Amino acid sequence: MKESIDWQKEDEKYIWHPAQQMKDAEVFPPVVIDHAKGLYLYGTDGKAYLDIISSWWCNLLGHCNPEINQAIKEQVDTLEHVIFTNFSHRPAIELCRELAPLLPAGLTKFSFHDNGSSAVEAALKMAFQYHYQTGHPERQRFMCLADSYHGETIGALSVGGMDMYAKIYQPMMMHNIHFGGLDCFRCPYGKTRDTCACECFESAEKAFEAYGKETAAVIVEPILQGAAGMRIYPAEYLRELRKLCDEYGVLLIDDEIAAGFGRTGKLFAIEHAGISPDILCTSKGLTGGYLPMSITITTDRIYDAFYDDYGKHKAFVHSHTYAGNPIGCAAALAVLRILKRDHILEKAADVGRYLHEELEKALGRHPNMGEIRHIGLINAMELVEDRETKKPFDPARRIGWQIFRRAMARGLVLRPMGDVIYFNPPLTLDRETAKKAVELCRESVEDVLGK
């Protein structure tokens, strides 16, 4: 007779889940997933959940994609792992060859890591050491935007602006420069994304004027500040930032971990601005959400500052055990092949337009809907107590979390960021499923806030 196991009880006994208050599990325990297919997750009780957030934004082409599955299976039988120092392998080389022509101009050298935070950490160290080895040891600090998020290692936290993640760790963190953020919904200048001239850029100008000569690099989430609430800002801001970096000799680090691989309608979000960074970090969608892998990609100019005789001690001594893992590379190659062959970005653009129109029809006029901002397939719905004044809800009410619970009961994964609920689906979302997700979302919002 088959043993009956209460998997939720077993989870409670052993597992400390990330990014949640575990006491919440007393009233809303984690859903134990048994298997997945396409846009759906299936619990151990057989219930289906529409994964409209791509399982933390990384699932790019649907769960258990047959072609990616097959690529991984074939690679497992060939080479599962090898130390990436003094060794290499074809999947990593092929992945670099395939990615190189798709990147912003000038990015040529690939440093492999195992997650997004590690890619950012490597970028910071790379920028610091670059200046040190090119005669500018005074450049020891970093700049970042308020309310930015670049990961949760100590270095990555130090260039983030989210108190929820970083405040308690301040004594451990680097002393960096944080300048004014990009909240276009509550623009202090009374502008909109379509009417502004990036007046808020003055805070960056002041920061560079005060600290530019001691700064190694500025790091930015391009076009989209994810953890801040899916804030979307004009491409002109990035163009101005590129100019300012060039003027002061500061490197520009482009954090594409969340926004890259088609999330904003371009393969890389910085393409909206038509500029190139000095360093680009990518992860999440890189392997289609299958395996943890990231890459920090930079220019010949930066690479050459590390290239010298052994005795000069200029090498970039930064490594991860699973750097360049061949199974991850095989998955990433399959992702690129599918994106190109099946014209995924073009199809996603069409569904993206439809999805936003449906959300506007369903919830755009709701008295508590402050804004539905969108780019690509991403749609972020900011809920407010007062639509006219944009007054937020009291955080203690946990409106977003309440809606999340109602959505889960209906079979929709709608994890919030405060009182911002969002769609960030796999790029393979179709119109029928999009319409179903919108309806489930509308019902969940109305459950909590009425019509």
pLDDT in tens, 214-272: 999 999 999 999 999 999 999 999 999 999 999 999 999 999 999 999 999 999 999 99
Query: In this structure, which topology does domain 69-341 adopt according to CATH?
Result: Aspartate Aminotransferase; domain 2 (3.40.640)
**CATH class, 7-64+343-449 region:** alpha beta
pLDDT in tens, 385-442: 999 999 999 999 999 999 999 999 999 999 899 999 999 999 999 999 999 999 999 9
Predicted TM-score (pTM) of the model is 0.96
Distance (Å, rounded) from C-alpha 286 to C-alpha 354?
26
Distance (Å, rounded) from C-alpha 140 to C-alpha 313?
19
Say what the pLDDT of residue 443 is. 98
Say what the pLDDT of residue 163 is. 76
Radius of gyration of the chain (CA): 22
Q: What is the mean pLDDT of residues 154-178?
A: 87
Each domain of the chain, given as residue ranges in start order, spans 7-64+343-449, 69-341
User: 202-211 and 235-248 are packed helices; what angle lies between their axes, rounded to 10 degrees?
Assistant: 20
Confidence of residue 194 (pLDDT cuts 50, 70, 90): confident
pLDDT in tens, 94-136: 999 999 999 999 999 999 999 999 999 999 999 999 999 999 9
Closest CA to 314 of 133, 134, 140: 133
